[in-house]
Amino acid sequence: MSAYIIRRLLYLVPTVLGVCLITFLLFNVVTTGEAIAKQRLGQHATQEQIESYLKTHGYDKPLLIRFFINLKDLLTFNFGRSEVTHQKITTMLWNGMWPSLSLMVPAFFFTLFVAISIALFTALYRNTFLDRSTVVLCIIGMSVPFLAYIILGQYILGYKLKYFPVTGYEWGLGVFKFLILPGLIYTAASLGSDVRFYRTVVLDEINQDYVRTARAKGLSPNTILFKHILKNAMIPIITRVVVALPFLYMGSLLLEDFYGIPGLGAMALNAIDGNDFAVIKAITFIGAILYVLANLAGDILYALVDPRVEFK
Amino acid sequence: MEVLLCVSDLATYFETEGKTVCAVDGVSFEIKRGETLGLVGESGCGKSVTALSIIRLIPTPPGKIVRGSVLFDGEDLLKLKESAMRRIRGNKISIIFQEPMTSLNPVFRVGHQIAEAAVLHRKISWNEAKELTVEMLARVEIPAPKERYYDYPHQMSGGMKQRAIIAMALICNPSLLIADEPTTALDVTIGAQILRLLRDLQSQLKMAILFITHDLGVVAEMAHRVAVMYAGKIVETADTLTLFERPLHPYTRALLASVPHLGKKTKRLFVIPGEVPDPLRFPSGCRFHPRCSSASDICRSRLPELRQYEDSHYVSCFNISSEAKEIPR
């Protein structure tokens, strides 16, 4: 097991280098220094202004040198300062992370729990009226745009019925009342596709031969579903969860923007709006690294769930 | 000998897209305690559906047992509640399937899966069940059973898995084992070992076996009595020796004629002409008549019933040659 983890950790080295390279190419070759400078300084910037921007941001050095400086900065999490607020970017990321996590982590795991429960339930009653109507509801749920959930939720539950504050955030435990509504909106919007996915996963397993063996053994439908089927279904479930994990840290662009939550999602949106290239670069890099780490976590979880995954 | 299982007029239909498939259509047979009944027939003739109907594992929908009774120890299994049926499955009646490669759950240890049945039915602790499992693994001749208890299915070969599945089926000492083509997926030598093992275990445990196969050689080796099934019906049943020496039904005769014989020079093996009928559109009258060389008018219009010839020799055919005398009821 530990050998498997170590081997898997070694794979991180080339992957992270690749992430650094792509981030570098995005901000140095795909978009050139000149383009960034013009974007920052406006169309009427003089040649001198542009040149001094390029110099202060290190764009005057040769590409290869720039790559290594960039590599060092990324790997030491030295992202510099925001070009708009002039705050240290690491501080901004740290401060933005908590609101994002406090919104997304409970909402995500609550949704996961509810979706898997409904999926198992519908699988148990497959091909009945209950199952079919759930599927129809799921498709309706999936067809409504995310924005509609946000605006309707805010308007009806927040503004009209006044169950929740319409928008806002505070540090400390009082934050709870601000997070319930966006959290529920997240659940409502994700439930349709999640239930459909997990239902398919469970139905795939239900027709396997080992289920027939378990029934022939005299096991009850509950034991078969929650023990034999669920453990097999964990593999696709892990895959889906792992892919979603990095987005918990990054927050939700729309939810944070609409509900006034000062998380990383809102920060990313502001950075894009304000041509804050240093912040965009930092968020791109962190997002990619988290993705890599989540995949690592997924691979380790696979090995824990499925004995067929080789430890060697 | 006392009758253990009495199936009468069992019929299982499948509804698909408004059409009805009569997979099993009025099947009757008996199995006595400790006896092996071989159920033979071509693929798709309803053997497996019969087996699944007996322990009520027919996927419903689309399948449905539409009539008949399955008396086991005097109790009609088809009338039992599902919860009562669960207490019989894996306990008094066990079933083993054709596909040892996929029949075990890949993410649980083999030993755990076997012990699970014992914990469920015998109401014993996991520790006791583990001891019992190791004992069973030794009984099905798996070497190093203590270590093998902790194996996952993918660490076992096909033959080994089938042994483990047999151990699982027999751990509660069932009085009936349904073996649905248990050796078909295995290579011949391993299959022969499994057959010998089943025979040994049967004499030790005194259980009855319903042995389903399409292989007449296997039947000759395993069964005390044989029932031949064709298109959802039993066409002939007799004790094994009688069936092989004096087959009466044209289908049984044709089946036996298409078995190659060692040492006999044959240019071309006999083949039954035609195909197994589509269960959506069974032919009128006797279902075998389109492929039968001695079919007459009556065969096309009327469905023959099982009639008794000799002692325990039942045949459903209108054209039994005159030397066989029907025993009137």
DSSP string of B47-76, one letter each residue? HHHHHHHHTT---TTTEEEEEEEEEETTEE
Q: Which chain B residues touch A if contact means CB-CB below 8 Å? A: 55, 57, 61, 86-91, 94-95, 97, 99, 102-108, 113, 116-117, 120-121, 152, 154, 165, 168-169
Is A20 domain-assigned? yes
pLDDT at residue B328 is higher than 80: no
pLDDT at residue A81 is higher than 90: no
- Enclosing domain of residue A217: 89-305
For residue B173, the 8-state DSSP code is: -
Chain A: closest CA distance from residue B86 (Å): 4
Note the pLDDT tens digit of each residue in A245-281. Answer: 888 877 778 888 888 888 888 888 888 888 888 888 8
- Cβ neighbours of A215 in B, within 8 Å: 57, 89
| Residue after which a domain boundary falls, among A75, A110, A134 | A75
Q: What is the largest CA-CA distance in chain B?
A: 66
pLDDT at residue A113 is higher than 90: yes
Is A123 domain-assigned? yes
pLDDT at residue A10 is higher than 60: yes
Note the pLDDT tens digit of each residue in B116-172. Answer: 999 999 889 999 999 999 999 998 888 898 999 999 999 998 889 988 999 999 999
Does A98 lie in the same domain as A21? Answer: no
pLDDT at residue A114 is higher than 90: yes
Cβ pair B116:A208 closer than 8 A: no
Does A172 lie in the same domain as A37? Answer: no
What are B49's two structure tokens? 């559906």
pLDDT at residue A93 is higher than 60: yes
Question: Domain holding A215: CATH number?
Answer: 1.10.3720.10
pLDDT bin (cut points 50, 70, 90) of residue A52 is confident
The ipTM assigned to this model is 0.86
Tell me the average pLDDT of chain A.
87
Does A70 lie in the same domain as A103? Answer: no
Is A81 domain-assigned? no
Among candidate residues B102, B194, B198, the one with its CA nearest the CA of residue B154: B102
User: What percent of chain A clears pLDDT 70, i.e. is strictly above it?
Assistant: 99
**What pLDDT does residue A252 have?**
79
pLDDT bin (cut points 50, 70, 90) of residue A311 is low
| Residue after which a domain boundary falls, among A75, A100, A127 | A75
pLDDT at residue B209 is higher than 90: yes
Specify the number of domains making up chain A: 2
Does A114 lie in the same domain as A200? Answer: yes
Section A123-139 average pLDDT: 88
**What pLDDT does residue A270 have?**
87
Does A258 lie in the same domain as A139? Answer: yes
pLDDT at residue B225 is higher than 90: yes
- The label of the residue with tokens 């912040």 reads A279
Is A310 domain-assigned? no
The whole-model pTM stands at 0.80
**What pLDDT does residue B326 have?**
61
Is A284 domain-assigned? yes
Assign A85 to helix, strand or coil: coil
Q: Give the one of B90, B106, B165 whose C-beta lies nearest to A218's C-beta.
A: B90
Bridge partner list, A221: none
Section A215-243 average pLDDT: 90
Specify the higher pLDDT residue, B310 or A55. A55
Does A190 lie in the same domain as A258? Answer: yes
Does A29 lie in the same domain as A132? Answer: no
For residue B326, the 8-state DSSP code is: B
Note the pLDDT tens digit of each residue in B234-291. Answer: 999 999 988 888 888 888 888 888 887 777 777 787 888 888 888 788 888 888 888 8
Q: Which chain A residues touch B if contact means CB-CB below 8 Å? A: 127, 208-210, 212-220, 228, 231-232, 305-308
Does A301 lie in the same domain as A227? Answer: yes
Is A311 domain-assigned? no
In a 10 Å sphere around its CB, with 0-12 CB exposed, 13-18 middle and 19+ buried, how is residue B101 labelled?
A: middle
Does A283 lie in the same domain as A140? Answer: yes
Section A25-37 average pLDDT: 84
Assign A185 to helix, strand or coil: helix
**What pLDDT does residue A305 have?**
86
| Residue after which a domain boundary falls, among A75, A105, A132 | A75
- Cβ neighbours of A232 in B, within 8 Å: 105-107
pLDDT bin (cut points 50, 70, 90) of residue A169 is confident
Does A109 lie in the same domain as A18? Answer: no
Cβ pair A307:B154 closer than 8 A: yes
Is A142 domain-assigned? yes
Chain B: closest CA distance from residue A220 (Å): 7
Q: Give the one of B94, B97, B117 whose C-beta lies nearest to A212's C-beta.
A: B97
Lowest mean pLDDT among A240-244, B9-13, B88-92, B299-303: B299-303
Mean pLDDT highest for which of A57-61, A63-67, B58-62? Answer: A63-67
Long-range contacts of B183-191 (CB under 8 A, 24+ apart): B183/B213, B183/B215, B183/B218, B184/B98, B184/B213, B184/B214, B184/B215, B185/B98, B185/B99, B185/B100, B185/B101, B185/B158, B186/B100, B186/B158, B186/B159, B186/B162, B190/B158, B190/B159, B190/B162, B191/B218
Does A187 lie in the same domain as A56? Answer: no
User: What percent of chain B clears pLDDT 90, i.e. is strictly above it?
Assistant: 36
Number of A to B CB contacts under 8 A, please give it: 70
Cβ pair A209:B102 closer than 8 A: yes
